[in-house]
């Protein structure tokens, strides 16, 4: 069968069959494996992306957990510092009060000792004054008696 324009239908059908076989072969040998490879690669990278997102999510949760712990630790540390400061202030107040009491006691004892010393000095001074007055009186009396006796003897001698 000869068709005008030199077209052979059988040749066309054979070429179509060859093209179909070639297309099927290329599809099975190249396209399908490449498509499977590309799909596996895309799945692998999607899996990696999902894994990274999960790890990122876990890291964020861990970060929030640690931030909460840090806040609680900071709050606890603040409370501990405040408690230590209160205790230190109480200890300082107690020491100051004890020191003031001790100072008052020492001052009181010093005042009592000074009073006793003053009384002792006054008593000694009183004794010394009394002794000096007695000596002066004895001297005056002795001199007076001597003068009186001299006058008596002088008047007796005159007579």
103-141 pLDDT per residue, tens: 999 999 999 999 999 999 999 999 888 888 888 888 877
For residue 159, what pLDDT band results from cuts at 50, 70 and 90? low
**1 pLDDT more than 60:** no
Burial 122-132 (b: 16+ CB within 10 A, else e): eeeeeeeeeee
Q: What's the mean pLDDT when you consider all of the chain? A: 88
- What's the half-sphere exposure (Cβ side, CA atoms, 13 Å) at 47? 6
pLDDT in tens, 49-89: 999 999 999 999 999 999 999 999 999 999 999 999 999 99
pLDDT in tens, 86-110: 999 999 999 999 999 999 999 999 9
């Amino acid at each position: 069968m000869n068709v005008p324009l030199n077209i052979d239908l059988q040749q066309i059908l054979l070429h179509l069959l060859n093209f179909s076989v070639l297309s099927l072969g290329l599809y099975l040998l190249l396209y399908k494996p490449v498509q499977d490879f590309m799909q596996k690669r895309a799945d692998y990278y999607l899996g990696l992306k999902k894994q990274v997102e999960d790890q990122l999510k876990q890291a964020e949760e861990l970060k929030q957990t640690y931030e909460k712990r840090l806040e609680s630790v900071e709050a606890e540390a603040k409370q501990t510092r405040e408690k230590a400061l209160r205790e230190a202030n109480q200890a300082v107040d107690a020491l100051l009060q004890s020191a003031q009491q001790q100072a008052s006691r020492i001052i009181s004892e010093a005042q009592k000792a000074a009073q006793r010393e003053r009384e002792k000095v006054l008593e000694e001074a009183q004794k010394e004054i009394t002794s000096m007055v007695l000596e002066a009186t004895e001297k005056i009396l002795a001199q007076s008696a001597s003068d009186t006796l001299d006058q008596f003897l002088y008047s007796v001698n005159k007579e």
